[in-house]
Structure 1
């Protein structure tokens, strides 16, 4: 019975990860809110979770180790999201990561004009809020919950064989 519960939980995390990415792309491409560099980095753990959890179902092996890895990805997501939240609130300064696309390597006047035309988003600017909270805030909370779920699956794996 516990094995079925693990599969159900993994399916739930998988579906939630797909939903999170679809939502991010919807906000970006349909609603027109450009993401900053940290927003883009915060999507990586969801993509990794989709790939790795799918591997569990395809291979039907390595559930414990893959669950641990996915849990670590979500811890990474929580740390990055908390840092992003801190930048939005003014607790931390923007880092080099926030400025990756904004480097001034213009070699000609045309290159400089192209850079000026390109819209860049600062990590401290909240372009989209839901219930008064930024997506970085939501992602911090959600990532902590998902990491706890994945670690619980990994820790209880031997009991649920």
Structure 2
């Protein structure tokens, strides 16, 4: 059985690599993320901070692990919702709203707004890996990380 320290180091490394890949896709390959894509990065940033904190502070490790598990559950919910928007099961939320329903604008103002807008719709998949959107991949990864953190919390007293 793997000990918690190894698992946490693996989660820290995985989170750093995941964020690096996200920024590579965004800045090097030129695929702009939508608002939900940006929100889906929060659990990985949280993992970097909280796991680093767990290696520095010897108290409250189980509580910090619980908070991290909640972040991964949050990531699962957001990613699942994002996949639902991509597949047309859910309508775009306020987070994804690009101002398409503003009826007070004239045609000219709408065209200017669209030209100046750099926002990406949450339903548009701009990058796929092995045929899957990044939101789909993130849903699976977030479920796995939530389960791993649950196991870490359960075994924390046994494996330090």
Normalising by structure 1, we get a TM-score of 0.88
Runs of 5+ consecutive residues of structure 2 not aligned to the other structure: none
What is the Cα-based RMSD across aligned positions, in Å?
Answer: 2.3
Q: Which residue of 1 is the match for residue 153 of structure 2?
A: 154
For 1:14 and 1:114, locate their aligned partners in 2 and report how far apart those are by CA, in whole Å: 41
What TM-score do the two structures reach when normalised by structure 2?
0.88
SS in structure 2 of the partner of residue 97 of structure 1: coil
Q: How many angstroms apart in 1 are the aligned matches of 2:56 and 2:158?
A: 22
Q: Residue 64 of structure 2: which of 66, 69, 81 is its match? A: 66
- CA shift, 1:114, in A, is 6.3
Q: How many residues align?
A: 156
Structure 2: distance between partners of 1:11 and 1:134? 27
Structure 1: which 5+ residue stretches go unaligned? none
CA distance in 1, matches of 2:38, 2:71: 14
SS in 1 for 2:123: coil
Deviation at 1:119, TM superposition (A): 1.8
Show CA shifts across 1:80-107 (max 9, x none).
Answer: 00000000001111111112x648799x
Instruction: Return the structure number with greater helix share.
Output: 1
